[in-house]
Structure 1
Amino acid sequence: MKISIYLLLVLLCAVPTIHAATVTVSSLSALQTAINNAAPGDIIILANGVYTASTDITISKQGTAASPITIQAQTTGGAEINGTAGINIVSPAKYIIIKGFKFTFNASQATMASGTSFIRWTRNIFQNPGEGEDLLLNGNDHEVDYNTFQHKDALGRFIAVRGSGSQIAQRLHIHHNYFFDQQPQSGNGAETVQFGLSGYSLSSSNSIFEYNLFEECDGENELLSVKSSAVTVRYNTIRNCPAQFTLRHGNHCLVYGNYFINTPGIRIFGDDHIIFSNHFENCSPAINIGNGDGEVADGDALTVHDRPDRTVIVFNTLVNNTTNYTQSGRTNGLGATNTTFSNNIIQGGGPAASIAGPYTGAVWSNNIVYQANGAGSMPSGSYTVVNPLLARDATGTFHLQAGSPAIDAATGTYSAVTVDMDGQSRSGTKDIGADEVGTGPVIAQILSTSMVGYNGSDPSECLPVVASSDDGNVPGNVLDNDLNTRWSASGDGQWIQFCLNSATTVTGVQIAFYNGTTRTSSFDILTSTDGANWSTKASNLVSSGTSLNLETFSITSTTAKYVRIVGHGNSVNAWNSYTEVHIQIASSLTARLMEEGTASLKGGLNSYPNPFHTTNTITFELGKDSHVQLSVFDVMGRQVALLVNGVVKSGVHRVPFDGKGLPVGMYWIKLVREGKSVMKQIVKE
């Protein structure tokens, strides 16, 4: 199989390189001065140490998508800021990265104002004393990732999301954070994360909250409290938390692929939510459909417990829950209307359903109930009593075994249900419950502390291709040698990025454009050696508008590990869409490019046989005992196997990899040791 990672781009005009500055400071006053003087692309480093803030560090500067302004600690967690003041990001700040700090200043001192945008908080530790929020999010298009929020013992939230007027903050991406140790409070206002307020509840956020881990969070009865519309909550793990995830106000939220373990599960108010492919174990309750005390659609106040209307609860797996599916009683309660409860598996625990309030227009169908304490309120004919053949897999979660009566047994059409709890695709006749038996890549599982927080391993740091976003046409499609597939994302500044795994000489890029014969596309080419500092090698490039095949765009030879293409839409609309991308380098791409990395391995990372048909053996040698993560990724950058994740002793190690069921094609094995990684390309024939 031919490896297709080259580069594309012909310079239409000479573009000077942006020479960004790196400034190291050792006081907060010097930090403020450096921020005030910052230009796009600058990196401001605060030397390790403990600093006391008595006045806010204010940020109003603007970077760019290609050249953000980075404000970071010398080493992750090495620069601590305490005191009575903190960080205040004000309009018109945009494209700012705040990285690697330990914040121990008072709560309510990390704030962002309306009018800010594209601010990223990454690899920070928040441990803020006193009442108030550790981080207040306002403005649009912000990212909060790989942070640790811990040890909160007063009223307030780890994160609070707000808005402007009646509009909630939009297009936020909150992911891979670790929320740990929130002590119980006696008053209201101690949610772990509060996403909005009642006044914002009818506005759509279109935000994603994913891959976050909650442990021992017990501020109040609500854990993640969503008070906004159109929020996607997926692939999170909530474990050993006495507080409950609540859709408190708002409509049209998607909740899927989450793992609820020993926690009160989810409580639902509002309209048109879809709850699917979630795993509930040892919860009490697992799923609680609210009993409304008002109806916002009829003019009741936004602060009421809005009667749940048209909630769809399908394809979930509930195991050994004290209470499975329930609705509590309420004096003069309005109940819930037109709720669908279908294609779920309930095994063990209390009664399958316990409905105590009005429950009109309900649809019950095709559920499996096994070893539960009766069906309870679930009507006859809406369930089958049969062993679903669930068993724990290596991740500790219950999956369907061969011969399960749940396989290919789902009924009904649910267009929103496209993935299972592992992130695997669902198509054709679906399986009942949260698990879909298949061979697709596994991209979600119960999270561990090694996967999240300020020191979590980021598997996307050097995946072959990643992108700022997509519309379902994923970035991996540009590396599959198929002009009928594509990556697509709408908006000026959306990008697709390629990692070569080691620095090499890049000479150009080749791109095949979707609808390339009917429109021209505009874009820039940037390169980087570290993935943080970018140099623009060509800007305002335009495709020919006459070809569907690869077009070549050359650049002055440069050393790079990362190549990024930043799109500016096309001559018809704002979409950026490429069917293939090849990165051109000075010499042919060889196995060396995939093998070279920064992890210190005595014998390298090897695989035999390569190519392989079904199984192969991956070998590596360690000079000392180390924590190792060994994974396999497909060409789309999705993890298909996690082979090792733990402390491994020194010496030679041979790890079998069973690729049975995976499609033929190119894959990457990646070994992470002490925060450094090495990759090797393998091919299944």
Structure 2
Amino acid sequence: MLRHVCERLTPVVVFLAMCAHPLDATERRVSTADELRSALTGAQPGDIILCADGQFDFNGDLIVNRSGTDAQPIIIKSMKRGKTSIVGNSRIVLDAVSHLVIEGFEFVSTKGTAIELRACSNVRITRNIFHLKETTKGSWVMITGKEKSEALSHHNRVDHNLFEKKSMLGNFITIEGTKTPSYQVSQYDTIDHNHFRDIGPRAENVLEAIRIGSSDFSLSSGFTLLEMNLFERCDGDPEYISIKSSDNIIRNNTFRECLGSLSLRHGNRNTIEGNFILGNGRTGMFTDSTGKTWTLGTGGVRFCGDSMIIINNYCEGLTGTKWDATLAITGGDAEYGDGQKLTKHHRSRYATIAFNTFVNNRSGIEVGYDGEGFQGNWWRMPPVGITIANNVIVGSKDTLIKFFSTPLDSRWESNIAFARGSGIVSGETISGVRVVDPKLIKQQGFWRITERSPCVDAAVGGFAYITQDVDGQTRDKKPDVGADEFSSLPKRNHPLTMSDVGPKAK
């Protein structure tokens, strides 16, 4: 049948088919680092370069400057996933490359960085294993611009990889950008379906799992999407995720037993949505450079800056307080527009915290923490214009809603808080917080509402853009308080496990 169909193809159709797959596109098999370098020298759109099992040592940088097209990317791939190992003092540098794929390698090299993208676009790094044998600091995957150039990275994807066992300073993934003519972070990159685990032990700074931006890039819009990733025991930094740019989305990820916080450290208009942040009661210890020993806790979300949106998140079993509270709305020592340095802690303004569920954590919502002189700094400017609505907070320890300073011009509406055991709801009376048992029950390991819950149909309006709950179920016309909407609709989002992410996931 296929032969007969081919016989009936018109010359025009044959010509179009030939154009879709250029005649000079080839599949090449290479067995050594030198053969790979040679194959890349003349690579054309549509070429597939297959690397044999074994060790490839570039003895320095493998510079790649060949690009594919949208329809015909250049693919550099291990013949057998995880069986081609990049070893020694090796690094892959993509220099102003577009439409190229790196797939299926094991990176066990000793250099601080495994892959660096300089002013690249539409590059995909997929189904690799990163567990470098570090001898120096560095970020394992670095996305940036080019020195003294306006060329910008954009629309790259890092997906279905395993990153594990990092101990030297740097990040699993760092996204920065170009500095010319002004600071602009890389844009529209996606990090999805990766497994990040075991980064540490704790350093005082610069050992986050992921950093997106820096103080210099903080006012530039990144539009980075960080979604559907699993993070486990990412302990290396007080910020296991550090967002230092604007207009990014962190959604539908799962964080398990990570000491520190998901931090919106610099920038504005970032969104944290639909994440499961699970502490499992884990704590740790850390001795800083002054000899002081700290008890570390698993934390939730900490933020400063303008117009953050924190919605539909589920946090359970977290042990952090203050800096690492389940939700830390910090004070500041500056605010955007006042001419202060971008390295300052710009106070929280105009944030929306809605439809979250915080259950059985060491802390709940902590407002206006001033840092207690950390590193000589005090952040005594209180938050301004914060909206806290339709959240559920349940716990048996300490104070569920704690104020270090009183937020200005803020709105509390239709929140439900309930303290058990030695816990108290708050030391202050808060309008917009209803003290009542939400009647949560445990289903498949997580606390959810039932049809008898006072959360049902009790949310206030004004949030038309929040159309789903943490499970990806549609919220009805009278939505429920908390992250969970009582619904019989199929669940489209769930806490992630190893089978959902990494090189072997579908």
TM-score (norm 2): 0.85
SS in 2 for 1:204: coil
Quick check: 2:160–2:502 contact (8 Å CA) kept in 1? yes
2:123 corresponds, among 102, 119, 125, to: 119
CA distance in 2, matches of 1:169, 1:392: 42
Shift of 1:16: 3.5
Partner of 1:145: 159
Letter in 1 for 2:382: G
Partner of 1:614: none
Letter in 2 for 1:274: I
1:364 and 2:433 aligned? no
| Structure 1: segments with no counterpart, 5+ residues | 1-9, 459-685
Quick check: 1:364–1:379 contact (8 Å CA) kept in 2? no
Q: Deviations over 1:249-308 (max 9, x none)?
A: 000011110011112111011100010100010112210001111112222111111111
Matches within 5 A, 1:459-538: none
CA distance in 1, matches of 2:354, 2:11: 52
Partner of 1:158: 172
Shift of 1:214: 0.8
Quick check: 1:102–1:125 contact (8 Å CA) kept in 2? yes
Matches within 5 A, 1:656-667: none
SS in 1 for 2:426: coil
2:220 corresponds, among 169, 181, 203, to: 203
Matches within 5 A, 1:298-447: 298-327=338-367, 328-330=369-371, 331=378, 333-349=380-396, 350-372=398-420, 373-377=423-427, 379-394=429-444, 396-447=445-496
Partner of 2:248: 231
TM-score (norm 1): 0.63
1:274 corresponds, among 305, 309, 325, to: 309
CA distance in 2, matches of 1:109, 1:374: 48
CA distance in 2, matches of 1:99, 1:287: 38
Aligned residue pairs, count? 446
Letter in 1 for 2:338: D
Letter in 2 for 1:392: K
| Structure 2: segments with no counterpart, 5+ residues | 1-9, 145-152, 280-297, 372-377
Letter in 1 for 2:301: I
CA distance in 2, matches of 1:391, 1:103: 44
Cα RMSD over matched residues?
Answer: 1.8
Q: Percent identity?
A: 33
Shift of 1:115: 2.5
1:76 corresponds, among 77, 81, 84, to: 81
1:33 corresponds, among 34, 38, 41, to: 38
CA distance in 2, matches of 1:26, 1:68: 22
Partner of 1:101: 105
Shift of 1:107: 4.1
Partner of 2:289: none
Letter in 2 for 1:282: G
> CA 1:378 to 1:106, structure 2 compared with 1: closer, same or farther past 3 Å?
farther
Instruction: Please identify, of 114-123 and 226-235, the stretch whose mean Cα deviation from structure 2 is larger.
Output: 114-123
CA distance in 1, matches of 2:480, 2:463: 12
> CA 1:57 to 1:347, structure 2 compared with 1: closer, same or farther past 3 Å?
same
CA distance in 1, matches of 2:494, 2:487: 15
Partner of 1:182: 199
Letter in 2 for 1:248: R
CA distance in 2, matches of 1:414, 1:377: 29
Partner of 2:65: 60
Q: Deviations over 1:307-335 (max 9, x none)?
A: 11001101000000111000323446112
CA distance in 1, matches of 2:354, 2:429: 16
Shift of 1:437: 2.0
CA distance in 2, matches of 1:100, 1:286: 37
SS in 1 for 2:109: coil
The structure where strand makes up a greater share of residues is: 1
Quick check: 1:154–1:185 contact (8 Å CA) kept in 2? no
Partner of 2:27: 22
Shift of 1:376: 1.0
2:259 corresponds, among 242, 245, 251, to: 242
CA distance in 1, matches of 2:456, 2:400: 21
Partner of 2:287: none
1:170 and 2:220 aligned? no
Instruction: Please identify, of 195-204 and 52-61, the stretch whose mean Cα deviation from structure 2 is larger.
Output: 52-61
Instruction: Please identify, of 322-331 and 173-182, the stretch whose mean Cα deviation from structure 2 is larger.
Output: 322-331
CA distance in 2, matches of 1:170, 1:108: 24
> CA 1:32 to 1:354, structure 2 compared with 1: closer, same or farther past 3 Å?
same
Shift of 1:342: 1.0
